[in-house]
Structure 1
Amino acid sequence: MFAFLLVLHAIIAAALVTVILMQKSEGGGLGMGGSPSGLMSARGAADFLTRATSVLAVAFVSMAVILAVFAATRQTATVDTSLARRPGTAAAPPIRPTQPVQADDAPFAGAAGAAAADGTAPVAPADNGAVPLAR
Protein backbone atom coordinates (compact mmCIF):
# COMPACT_ATOMS: atom_id res chain seq x y z
CA MET A 1 0.00 0.00 0.00
CA PHE A 2 2.80 2.40 0.93
CA ALA A 3 4.69 1.69 -2.30
CA PHE A 4 1.55 2.26 -4.37
CA LEU A 5 0.88 5.60 -2.68
CA LEU A 6 4.51 6.59 -3.14
CA VAL A 7 4.34 5.89 -6.88
CA LEU A 8 1.05 7.79 -7.10
CA HIS A 9 2.68 10.72 -5.29
CA ALA A 10 5.54 10.73 -7.82
CA ILE A 11 3.04 10.76 -10.71
CA ILE A 12 1.14 13.67 -9.14
CA ALA A 13 4.42 15.55 -8.67
CA ALA A 14 5.41 15.01 -12.31
CA ALA A 15 1.98 16.15 -13.50
CA LEU A 16 2.17 19.24 -11.28
CA VAL A 17 5.57 20.19 -12.68
CA THR A 18 4.31 19.66 -16.23
CA VAL A 19 1.22 21.81 -15.72
CA ILE A 20 3.22 24.59 -14.10
CA LEU A 21 5.76 24.62 -16.94
CA MET A 22 2.97 24.74 -19.55
CA GLN A 23 1.65 28.03 -18.20
CA LYS A 24 2.71 31.28 -19.76
CA SER A 25 5.10 33.42 -17.84
CA GLU A 26 4.48 37.11 -17.14
CA GLY A 27 1.18 36.39 -15.41
CA GLY A 28 -0.41 34.74 -18.43
CA GLY A 29 -1.17 31.64 -16.41
CA LEU A 30 -3.26 33.67 -13.99
CA GLY A 31 -5.80 34.68 -16.61
CA MET A 32 -4.33 38.00 -17.71
CA GLY A 33 -4.54 38.78 -21.39
CA GLY A 34 -6.03 36.88 -24.31
CA SER A 35 -9.60 36.79 -25.64
CA PRO A 36 -12.29 35.50 -23.30
CA SER A 37 -14.10 33.37 -25.89
CA GLY A 38 -13.73 29.58 -26.15
CA LEU A 39 -12.12 26.93 -23.97
CA MET A 40 -8.93 26.58 -25.99
CA SER A 41 -8.33 30.29 -26.36
CA ALA A 42 -5.50 31.83 -24.40
CA ARG A 43 -7.81 32.73 -21.50
CA GLY A 44 -9.62 29.38 -21.55
CA ALA A 45 -6.34 27.46 -21.51
CA ALA A 46 -5.03 29.67 -18.71
CA ASP A 47 -8.17 29.04 -16.66
CA PHE A 48 -7.88 25.29 -17.25
CA LEU A 49 -4.18 25.25 -16.34
CA THR A 50 -4.84 27.35 -13.24
CA ARG A 51 -7.57 24.97 -12.08
CA ALA A 52 -5.43 21.95 -12.88
CA THR A 53 -2.55 23.46 -10.90
CA SER A 54 -4.82 24.05 -7.91
CA VAL A 55 -6.22 20.51 -7.98
CA LEU A 56 -2.79 18.91 -8.39
CA ALA A 57 -1.30 21.08 -5.64
CA VAL A 58 -4.04 20.05 -3.19
CA ALA A 59 -3.58 16.40 -4.20
CA PHE A 60 0.20 16.67 -3.78
CA VAL A 61 0.02 18.19 -0.29
CA SER A 62 -2.68 15.79 0.92
CA MET A 63 -0.75 12.80 -0.45
CA ALA A 64 2.38 14.05 1.34
CA VAL A 65 0.46 14.20 4.63
CA ILE A 66 -0.99 10.71 4.10
CA LEU A 67 2.47 9.30 3.31
CA ALA A 68 3.92 10.97 6.40
CA VAL A 69 1.22 9.40 8.59
CA PHE A 70 1.83 5.97 7.05
CA ALA A 71 5.59 6.30 7.49
CA ALA A 72 5.22 7.33 11.13
CA THR A 73 2.90 4.46 12.02
CA ARG A 74 4.78 1.71 10.17
CA GLN A 75 6.36 -0.88 12.44
CA THR A 76 9.75 -2.27 11.51
CA ALA A 77 9.91 -6.01 12.07
CA THR A 78 13.67 -6.49 12.36
CA VAL A 79 16.70 -4.51 13.42
CA ASP A 80 20.10 -5.28 11.92
CA THR A 81 22.39 -6.23 14.81
CA SER A 82 25.29 -7.55 12.74
CA LEU A 83 27.61 -4.70 13.77
CA ALA A 84 26.67 -4.58 17.43
CA ARG A 85 29.30 -5.54 20.01
CA ARG A 86 28.68 -8.40 22.34
CA PRO A 87 28.66 -7.48 26.03
CA GLY A 88 32.01 -8.02 27.71
CA THR A 89 34.15 -7.84 24.57
CA ALA A 90 36.65 -5.04 24.21
CA ALA A 91 37.54 -3.27 21.03
CA ALA A 92 40.61 -4.56 19.19
CA PRO A 93 43.80 -2.60 19.91
CA PRO A 94 45.18 -0.52 17.05
CA ILE A 95 47.77 -2.20 14.86
CA ARG A 96 51.21 -0.61 15.13
CA PRO A 97 53.99 -1.42 12.67
CA THR A 98 57.16 -2.94 14.07
CA GLN A 99 59.14 -3.02 10.83
CA PRO A 100 61.28 -0.02 9.84
CA VAL A 101 59.97 2.13 7.03
CA GLN A 102 62.23 2.85 4.07
CA ALA A 103 63.07 6.54 3.69
CA ASP A 104 62.13 6.39 -0.01
CA ASP A 105 58.68 5.07 0.93
CA ALA A 106 57.94 8.00 3.23
CA PRO A 107 56.33 10.61 0.93
CA PHE A 108 56.37 13.40 3.53
CA ALA A 109 59.86 12.85 4.95
CA GLY A 110 61.45 15.77 3.07
CA ALA A 111 64.82 17.27 3.98
CA ALA A 112 63.96 17.54 7.68
CA GLY A 113 63.25 13.82 7.88
CA ALA A 114 66.60 12.59 6.63
CA ALA A 115 67.05 8.85 6.92
CA ALA A 116 69.89 6.93 8.49
CA ALA A 117 72.93 5.91 6.45
CA ASP A 118 71.39 2.53 5.56
CA GLY A 119 68.27 4.18 4.07
CA THR A 120 65.85 3.19 6.85
CA ALA A 121 64.01 5.35 9.30
CA PRO A 122 62.98 3.76 12.57
CA VAL A 123 59.29 3.88 13.37
CA ALA A 124 58.14 4.37 16.93
CA PRO A 125 54.56 4.87 18.05
CA ALA A 126 53.81 8.33 19.37
CA ASP A 127 51.91 8.98 22.58
CA ASN A 128 48.61 9.57 20.79
CA GLY A 129 48.87 6.43 18.66
CA ALA A 130 50.01 8.25 15.51
CA VAL A 131 52.98 6.81 13.68
CA PRO A 132 55.56 9.33 12.40
CA LEU A 133 56.75 8.82 8.86
CA ALA A 134 60.48 9.45 9.38
CA ARG A 135 62.84 11.15 11.77
Structure 2
Amino acid sequence: MENVILTVHLILALVLVVIVLLQRSEGGGLGMGGSGGGAMTRRQAANALTRGTWIIAIAFICTSLALTIVAASNSSGTSVLDQIGVSGADSAAEPASDGSDLLPPSTSTAPSQGSGSLTPPRLDDAPAAPQTPGDAPASN
Protein backbone atom coordinates (compact mmCIF):
# COMPACT_ATOMS: atom_id res chain seq x y z
CA MET A 1 0.00 0.00 0.00
CA GLU A 2 2.84 2.35 0.86
CA ASN A 3 4.45 1.76 -2.54
CA VAL A 4 1.23 2.62 -4.37
CA ILE A 5 0.81 5.86 -2.44
CA LEU A 6 4.48 6.72 -2.99
CA THR A 7 4.16 6.12 -6.74
CA VAL A 8 1.06 8.33 -6.96
CA HIS A 9 2.85 10.95 -4.86
CA LEU A 10 5.83 11.04 -7.24
CA ILE A 11 3.59 11.28 -10.30
CA LEU A 12 1.66 14.13 -8.70
CA ALA A 13 4.93 15.92 -7.95
CA LEU A 14 6.01 15.71 -11.59
CA VAL A 15 2.61 16.84 -12.87
CA LEU A 16 2.61 19.74 -10.42
CA VAL A 17 6.02 20.89 -11.67
CA VAL A 18 4.86 20.73 -15.29
CA ILE A 19 1.62 22.61 -14.60
CA VAL A 20 3.44 25.35 -12.72
CA LEU A 21 5.95 25.72 -15.56
CA LEU A 22 3.16 25.92 -18.15
CA GLN A 23 1.44 28.84 -16.44
CA ARG A 24 1.98 32.25 -17.89
CA SER A 25 3.93 34.57 -15.67
CA GLU A 26 5.24 38.07 -16.22
CA GLY A 27 8.19 36.49 -17.99
CA GLY A 28 6.00 34.68 -20.51
CA GLY A 29 5.91 31.12 -19.14
CA LEU A 30 6.94 28.06 -21.08
CA GLY A 31 3.88 27.09 -23.02
CA MET A 32 1.38 29.93 -22.93
CA GLY A 33 2.91 32.42 -25.35
CA GLY A 34 0.88 31.53 -28.46
CA SER A 35 -1.68 33.21 -30.66
CA GLY A 36 -5.08 34.28 -29.41
CA GLY A 37 -7.02 31.93 -31.73
CA GLY A 38 -8.19 28.45 -30.80
CA ALA A 39 -10.81 26.75 -28.68
CA MET A 40 -9.79 28.52 -25.45
CA THR A 41 -8.86 32.12 -24.90
CA ARG A 42 -5.81 33.00 -22.83
CA ARG A 43 -7.96 33.87 -19.85
CA GLN A 44 -9.82 30.55 -19.95
CA ALA A 45 -6.55 28.64 -20.27
CA ALA A 46 -5.08 30.52 -17.32
CA ASN A 47 -8.16 29.76 -15.22
CA ALA A 48 -8.02 26.06 -16.16
CA LEU A 49 -4.32 25.82 -15.30
CA THR A 50 -4.86 27.64 -12.01
CA ARG A 51 -7.72 25.29 -11.11
CA GLY A 52 -5.63 22.28 -12.16
CA THR A 53 -2.73 23.50 -10.06
CA TRP A 54 -4.95 23.75 -7.00
CA ILE A 55 -6.40 20.26 -7.58
CA ILE A 56 -2.97 18.65 -8.07
CA ALA A 57 -1.55 20.55 -5.07
CA ILE A 58 -4.38 19.35 -2.81
CA ALA A 59 -3.91 15.77 -4.04
CA PHE A 60 -0.15 16.09 -3.40
CA ILE A 61 -0.76 17.26 0.17
CA CYS A 62 -3.24 14.40 0.75
CA THR A 63 -0.72 11.80 -0.44
CA SER A 64 1.91 13.41 1.79
CA LEU A 65 -0.38 13.04 4.79
CA ALA A 66 -1.24 9.46 3.80
CA LEU A 67 2.45 8.56 3.55
CA THR A 68 3.06 10.06 6.98
CA ILE A 69 0.19 8.07 8.51
CA VAL A 70 1.33 4.82 6.88
CA ALA A 71 4.93 5.36 7.99
CA ALA A 72 3.80 6.11 11.56
CA SER A 73 1.70 2.94 11.70
CA ASN A 74 4.60 0.83 10.39
CA SER A 75 7.15 2.24 12.84
CA SER A 76 8.48 -0.14 15.48
CA GLY A 77 8.34 2.38 18.31
CA THR A 78 12.06 2.23 18.97
CA SER A 79 14.62 4.82 18.16
CA VAL A 80 17.48 4.32 15.73
CA LEU A 81 19.81 5.28 18.57
CA ASP A 82 18.64 2.20 20.51
CA GLN A 83 20.03 0.00 17.75
CA ILE A 84 23.56 1.47 17.56
CA GLY A 85 25.12 -1.10 19.89
CA VAL A 86 23.58 -4.08 18.08
CA SER A 87 25.95 -5.73 15.62
CA GLY A 88 25.62 -8.84 13.46
CA ALA A 89 26.89 -11.14 16.22
CA ASP A 90 24.74 -9.49 18.88
CA SER A 91 21.56 -9.29 16.80
CA ALA A 92 19.79 -11.88 18.97
CA ALA A 93 20.49 -9.93 22.14
CA GLU A 94 18.44 -6.88 23.02
CA PRO A 95 20.27 -3.60 23.58
CA ALA A 96 20.50 -2.47 27.18
CA SER A 97 17.67 -0.14 28.14
CA ASP A 98 19.86 2.02 30.36
CA GLY A 99 22.19 2.97 27.51
CA SER A 100 25.21 1.29 29.10
CA ASP A 101 26.15 -0.28 25.77
CA LEU A 102 26.97 3.21 24.48
CA LEU A 103 29.25 4.10 27.40
CA PRO A 104 32.97 3.35 27.55
CA PRO A 105 34.03 0.50 29.84
CA SER A 106 34.08 1.50 33.49
CA THR A 107 37.40 1.81 35.25
CA SER A 108 37.73 0.34 38.68
CA THR A 109 40.30 1.03 41.37
CA ALA A 110 41.05 -2.64 41.87
CA PRO A 111 43.74 -4.03 39.59
CA SER A 112 42.72 -6.51 36.99
CA GLN A 113 43.53 -10.14 37.81
CA GLY A 114 42.87 -11.48 34.31
CA SER A 115 45.45 -13.27 32.21
CA GLY A 116 45.50 -10.41 29.69
CA SER A 117 46.51 -7.86 32.32
CA LEU A 118 49.47 -5.63 31.53
CA THR A 119 50.30 -4.97 35.17
CA PRO A 120 51.33 -7.80 37.49
CA PRO A 121 48.97 -8.57 40.36
CA ARG A 122 49.86 -7.12 43.74
CA LEU A 123 51.02 -9.57 46.36
CA ASP A 124 49.89 -7.61 49.35
CA ASP A 125 46.78 -5.44 49.12
CA ALA A 126 47.15 -4.13 52.73
CA PRO A 127 49.74 -1.41 53.28
CA ALA A 128 52.69 -2.44 55.39
CA ALA A 129 52.77 -1.13 58.95
CA PRO A 130 55.51 1.43 59.44
CA GLN A 131 58.38 0.14 61.48
CA THR A 132 60.50 2.29 63.74
CA PRO A 133 64.17 1.53 64.28
CA GLY A 134 63.56 0.57 67.91
CA ASP A 135 60.91 -1.96 66.94
CA ALA A 136 63.17 -3.93 64.67
CA PRO A 137 64.04 -7.41 65.91
CA ALA A 138 67.54 -7.71 67.28
CA SER A 139 69.81 -9.96 65.38
CA ASN A 140 72.34 -11.96 67.44
Q: TM-score, normalised by structure 2?
A: 0.48
Give 1 or 2 for the bigger CA radius of gyration: 2
Normalising by structure 1, we get a TM-score of: 0.49
